[in-house]
Amino acid sequence: MAVATPPAARAPRSAGTRLDERAYRADVAMPGLLAGLVLFAVFAAVYFWIGYRVTIDGHVVVFDALNRLTNAYLVWWNDPPKLAAIGFLFPPLTTIALLPLTIVKPVATSLVALPLATALAAAAAMVWLDRTLARCEMPALMRLPLLAAFGLNPLWVFYAGNGMSEALYLALLAVTLYAFVSWYETSEPRYLFAAGFTVALLVLTRYSFGFWAVVMAVLIGVALARRGAGGHEIEGSIVAFAAPVVYAVAVWILFNGLIVGDPLGWVLDQDQSSLAVNGTGVDVGGALSLEQVSERLLELNVAVFPLAFAVVPALVIAFVTQRNDMALWLASFLVLGIVVMGGHAILSEDESLLTLRDAMPMALTALVGAAWIYRSSNGLRTIVWLATLALLIVNLFTAWDGMRNYPFQSLEQAFTRTVFTGESQEGRSSRGGFTVGIDPEAQMAQYVKEHVRTRRAILTDNAQTFGVILLTGRPQLFFDRIDEGDGTWTEIVDDPWGEVEYVLAATSAGSADRVLARYPGLADGTEAGMTVVARTDRYVLARVAERRPQGTG
């Protein structure tokens, strides 16, 4: 009885000018759905467990993440609910990504949404990294050790469980790089469209990726021209990539113009000189020299992405010797990331902008670059793999040391102490000028829940008191800048007598609270017509008189 011969695997479709010298061949099978789900579940579980222990049990709460979680909560639960609570100064997707988790009140008010959101995003990034390594012809038994060494890096683990936006944009970056590598290999336009779409989302998650988008578009055109593509193909490819980015930015400009009245305010109004609510401040000096910035960037390179020391030269060699355009792209992205960081610090004259977390995109790109070197080095693949694994293992120690000692941080030192001791960090200081914990917010929130019942009874600047608002779970008790806009809110701030029962202000060092700025006597309880009824280390709540006190303006 004749046995039917199974059909040969169909080769990937090919369209347009090839960017690779060799025909694409799938020497390594791409991970299937089940493998991807298992990988996702394992990393998500690990990240959520560690994030819960550190963020919830250890009280290592990054206030930027807490602010965005509050904004997402207000979208659903403010009175009335307001989509404008997303905000217009910071990239919108950082808040939008939290919206599904804030529909259920206890998930948000318990802060469980913070480690859950980033655990899911970071796990998704690991899945797409796995697919990228497979696209670079690396078998599963070689991929898994690299993924483990990269995914368990302490800096990566911290941001995979603290609610910050890094996990989200790194997941999008992982998808983008996968799409680029796949387009280069197969010449299939769908991957170019996917890259354009994810870059558009990247820009709406972190504005500095706009520079990456411009460089990507230029490199696409240059690479196609080098391979003899026609003008229509070059133009069409650039448009296919750039159209989603242009559309996303145009829509964001339109929304800012219609709602805020300042179409480009999100670009021009980036003054972040005021301290975080839990910040005590660090001395960052004045104007920066190129030498100072270079030293800091080198320090970040060692701490966060030492793999780049080997990867960038190897990618340049691959480009020169093999006409390997993807090698040039990946090297360019690594260098561009460093230049953008340094340029931002120099232009802002603020050394504290050179943070550990801002160097994380280069760590991910360096791993993809190492995978591409592996793919491009037929006779040296084992050596490339061993060197990559060794540098990733070294990075475990350099990252831990950087988290403990690098001066410009976002509670990384507190994370290392929590992991090492298992103890809560409430009330302790952490490098970067922060006091760890949320007890001041929780104490004030508890007082509000016990003593305030009237809708919109408390006038407050939600940009500073967001933690208290969220932990009460009752935003309807507050009259803040989101409710009726800054104009109406400012009028009430100037004349609160008989309009509100209380005012709540943040009194921490460097506070930018606009209520406190209008009534500075709140800090020490000397403001006429305002009687302090509750105080914590960071906040003061005062009862407002029915009539304006005589002699006040």
The pLDDT tens digits of the residues spanning 302-316 come to 999 999 999 999 999
DSSP, collapsed to helix, strand or coil, labels residue 551 as: coil
Residue 283 reports pLDDT greater than 70: no
How far apart (Å, rounded) are the C-alpha atoms in residues 356 and 188?
36
DSSP string covering 487-531: HHHHHHHH--TTT-SEEEEE-STT---HHHHH-GGGTTT--TTEE
What is the token pair recorded at 391? 């540098």
Name beta bridge partners: 490: none
DSSP string covering 291-304: HHHHHHHHHHHHHH
Q: What percent of the chain has a predicted confidence (pLDDT) above 90?
A: 72
How far apart (Å, rounded) are the C-alpha atoms in residues 109 and 6?
56
Asked if omega into 80 is within 30° of 0 (cis), the reply is yes
DSSP, collapsed to helix, strand or coil, labels residue 420 as: helix
Q: How confident is the model at residue 29 (pLDDT cuts 50, 70, 90)?
A: confident
Residue 12 reports pLDDT greater than 50: no
Three-state SS across 343-366?
A: HHHHHHCCHHHCCCHHHHHHHHHH
DSSP, collapsed to helix, strand or coil, labels residue 235 as: helix
Question: Quick check: 20 and 194 in contact, CB under 8 A?
Answer: no
pTM of model > 0.85: yes
Return the pLDDT at 87.
81
- Looking up tokens 């318990």 gives 110
What is the token pair recorded at 543? 């009862």
What is the token pair recorded at 535? 């105080």
Residue range 86-112: average pLDDT?
91
Residue 45 reports pLDDT greater than 60: yes
Question: Quick check: 200 and 169 in contact, CB under 8 A?
Answer: no
How many residues does the structure list for the chain? 553
Per-residue pLDDT tens digits for 132-169: 999 999 999 999 999 999 999 999 999 999 999 999 99
For the chain, the 3-state helix, strand and coil shares in percent, each to the nearest 5, are 65, 5, 30
DSSP string covering 82-102: -GGGG-SSS-THHHHTTGGGG
Per-residue pLDDT tens digits for 385-424: 999 999 999 999 999 999 999 999 999 999 999 999 999 9
> What are the CA-CA distances from residue 242 to residues 91, 184, 195, 216, 309 (Å)?
19, 17, 9, 9, 31
Whose CA is closest to 246, among 214, 274, 288? 214
HSE-up (13 A, CA, CB side) for residue 298 = 6
Q: How confident is the model at residue 275 (pLDDT cuts 50, 70, 90)?
A: low
- Starting at the earlier edge strand, list the strands of the sheet with 530-535: 478-479, 458-460, 502-506, 539-544, 530-535
Per-residue pLDDT tens digits for 173-214: 999 999 999 998 888 889 999 999 999 999 999 998 999 999
Return the pLDDT at 521.
94
DSSP conformational letter for 161: S
At residue 544, φ and ψ (nearest 5 deg) are -100, 135
Weakest mean pLDDT among 19-28, 36-45, 472-481: 19-28
How far apart (Å, rounded) are the C-alpha atoms in residues 180 and 309?
23
- The total of other beta-carbon atoms located within 10 Å of residue 99's CB is 15
Task: For residue 156, give the H/E element and its range.
Answer: helix 154-159
How far apart (Å, rounded) are the C-alpha atoms in residues 463 and 448?
18
Name beta bridge partners: 478: 458
Give the strand pairing for 478-479 and 530-535.
unpaired
Question: Quick check: 146 and 133 in contact, CB under 8 A?
Answer: yes
Residue 67 reports pLDDT greater than 70: yes
- Looking up tokens 């504005």 gives 207
Per-residue pLDDT tens digits for 235-267: 999 999 999 999 998 988 887 777 767 777 776
- Burial, 537: exposed, middle or buried (Cβ in 10 Å; 0-12, 13-18, 19+)? middle
> What are the CA-CA distances from residue 40 to residues 95, 290, 399 (Å)?
23, 42, 24
Residue 32 reports pLDDT greater than 70: yes
Whose CA is closest to 530, among 519, 539, 538? 519
How far apart (Å, rounded) are the C-alpha atoms in residues 327 and 376?
9
What is the token pair recorded at 310? 């080997």
What is the token pair recorded at 212? 């990456």
At residue 262, φ and ψ (nearest 5 deg) are -140, 95
Three-state SS across 311-339?
A: HHHHHHHHHHHHCCHHHHHHHHHHHHHHH
Return the pLDDT at 271.
46
Average pLDDT score, the chain: 90
Residue range 276-300: average pLDDT?
78
How far apart (Å, rounded) are the C-alpha atoms in residues 425 and 418?
7
